[in-house]
Structure 1
Amino acid sequence: MADNKDNPTPDAPTTATPASAPARRRWPRRVLISLVVLVALLAGAFWLLGRESTLQQLVQRISNASGGQVSVTGVSGSLYHRMHIDRLVYRSKDSVITADNIDINWSPLQYFSEGLSISELHVAALTVRSLGPSEPAKMPASLAAPFRLSLSDARLDKLTLSSATGSDVIERLRFKLYGDKSSWHLEDASAQTAFGNVKADLTIGADKPFALQGKASLAQAKAAPAGGAASAGGNAQLSLEAGGNLALITLKAQGGANGASGNANLALAPFDPIILRALDLNARDLDPAGFDPGWPQAKFSLKLSAAIAPDQKNSPANSPCKTRTRRRHWTSKACPCKPSAASWQAR
């Protein structure tokens, strides 16, 4: 008994419940609630951005921020798919550009995988009106796109280029356009012009000196008489190949019309005061009456070559271009060519 008193039996240990247990059981619930709220906010933002009123407000903000340069009316549709604009006007100090009835079909959700992808762009009419002499063109610093751009189907029903001297109209313009930070590609371009039907493809680099490669063709059929078919001799054909770069473009042309044919090689410097650098032209079986019935009938060939230095000055002293016929010889004082061979051989 004494031993039991001296050595009391120890009490059984008690298990204490941690205070953090309730908190640990609550954190999945909090995360779930946060996810539900986030999804609801995203769904609400998605719905809000897809409203037509949101598109109209966004376009109006862009117009207001332009300081009067951009004016947009008749906006409808959604940011996510199809949009329509009745009229868009852009004003600069030397021109006014007006576009009527614009339809755009695109998918902004493809931006993260394919860049800006526009499946359809249709403009009923585009008018470019010149307000006066424009500044000389300058070589751009870069043509690199900030993101990938894909325009799968672009259609322009009517393009009008207007100035104080008159206007030119191009109809049924169609093309595809692709661009990124390295290059631009114009594919399957076609149009109807006053000179005939044009087709073209072009690739141009985005960095200086902007290497380019392309081809184009022009086809024109003479109007057929009433009740008859167009004559084969009245069809005009022209094919063109382009190379070089924007600093110096090289062109190879070959064509024929009204029984005449010819080929030419040109070198053009579009950003120099005098654009033409070199010309080598060979034409055969030319008949003026074949181009205009009021002109006299003749049959002759023409050979012309010219070379112009970048610093060549346009003055009579530096203009020894000559054209020869069997009967007379004359010198043009307006031609800024270096000494070259130019002959007109009449038959």
Structure 2
Amino acid sequence: MTDIQTTRIVLAARPEGRPKPSDFRTETQALKAPQDGQVLLETLYLSLDPYMRGRMNEGESYAPPMALGDVMVGGTVSRVVESRYPNLKAGDVVLSAAGWQTHAVVDGKGLRKLDPDAAPPSTALHVLGMTGFTAYSGLLTIGQPKEGETVVVAAASGPVGSMVGQIARIRGARVVGIAGGADKCAYVVDELGFDAAVDHRAPDFAKQLAQACPDGIDVYFENVGGPVWDAVQPLLNLYARIPVCGLVAHYNDKDVAEGPDRLPAMMGTVLKKSLTIRGFIMSELMEEQMPAFLKDVTGWIAEGRVRWREDMVEGLENAPDAFIGLLEGKNFGKVVVKVADL
């Protein structure tokens, strides 16, 4: 193997509130040749996701924080350049977790080989990957929508919310999406087939949501928090189920919000309405449910029942700005960074 250098983006400083470009640093580093069991990868596509913001913080969470100087974490679709792993060869396209860098040497075990002829490879980062599985496992395991029930999902035009709504529709539920702006609301109704959509930026958002849910809410898939939750909570029906996979409205918070303690009132609602609220991390469900997820969603794609939208960003150097914009809701669809040509 000739010497390979990787261009990588590392965590330079821990953000205080909203991440800044100075919180990231671009470096070039020489890579060692792959050893037995390893492969050399070239990154084709990089996934940007809100969970990365939490990994930039110190403190206990469901996953260890990144150390300063670490490569920013992230899922990638990569091409095998050189293989010392028996089940992979040069030219294979795989799903990996190589992070924000152009090349990486990784353990071949655990890489998922992709078939570029079956679906566009970048879909392994969303509808056939982490965000799609998050929607599938959280909705079906915790939300358990029944035919005719009302399912509400925030960030409905995003990669998780769009899948939640489409799967709920396949299961026979009535689906109401919450999104930011008229274009996104039109997209989830006209393109994704939701029954209704409400703009959370509207001054009378809570009133519009109530009108869109005349029979209340049976399942609310929570991935935002903030004022959206405030509007949803009064509409929850008896025995409503709330899968919680994220709280993106709070990821840049620096301090605890001032104001009255609303926890007692919320817990009173949980008690009076016998609500089920469960947070989940998709990794805890992967071993049991991933085969069914891939089978179901691959079939739904072939049948034209699942659609998606990518917000494609060209060039690894643009990943920090795209990530900052993602946390502010500037994206439209799944944010994917194109690092190299397929």
Q: Is the TM-score greater than 0.5?
A: no
Greater RCO (Cα-Cα under 8 Å, separation 6 or more):
2
Q: What is the TM-score with the length of structure 2 in the denominator?
A: 0.24
Q: What is the TM-score with the length of structure 1 in the denominator?
A: 0.23
Q: Which has the higher strand share?
A: 1
Q: Larger C-alpha radius of gyration, 1 or 2?
A: 1
Q: Which has the higher helix share?
A: 2
